[in-house]
Amino acid sequence: MRDDIDCEQALILLYQFIDGELTIERRDWITGHLHGCTHCFAAFDFEQELRTVIRSRLQTPMPDALRGRIMDALQREFPDFGGGVPGLH
């Protein structure tokens, strides 16, 4: 299904988007997708919130244990997504 492929791609790009590593073209694409897809938008919201909290409170890189907990949560939420999240292992 095309939508599933879009969502999988969107979630991968999501991490690059949050890290500010996306090109303008990709940023436009994912922004457009997020506006039309509540599933991905919820994930984006969650990640944005998380990063903000971590940056403001810890001021340090994300601990491995926390990364593991996030990966577990994401894999429960998106079973098809697998473990292939760039920069979040």
Q: Binding residues for Zn ion, per CB under 5 A?
A: 7, 10, 37, 39-40
* CB 3, min distance to Zn ion, A: 7
- Please identify, using beta-carbon distances, which residue of 42 and 70 lies nearer to Zn ion: 42
Q: What are the distances in angstroms from CA 50 to CA 4, 8, 46, 73?
A: 25, 20, 6, 13
- How many Å separate Cα 7 from the centre of its chain? 11
- How far apart CA 72 and CA 65 sit, in angstroms, is 11
- Please identify, using beta-carbon distances, which residue of 12 and 37 lies nearer to Zn ion: 37
Rg (CA), the chain: 13
- Please identify, using beta-carbon distances, which residue of 26 and 39 lies nearer to Zn ion: 39
* CB 39, min distance to Zn ion, A: 5
* CB 49, min distance to Zn ion, A: 18
- How far apart CA 66 and CA 6 sit, in angstroms, is 27
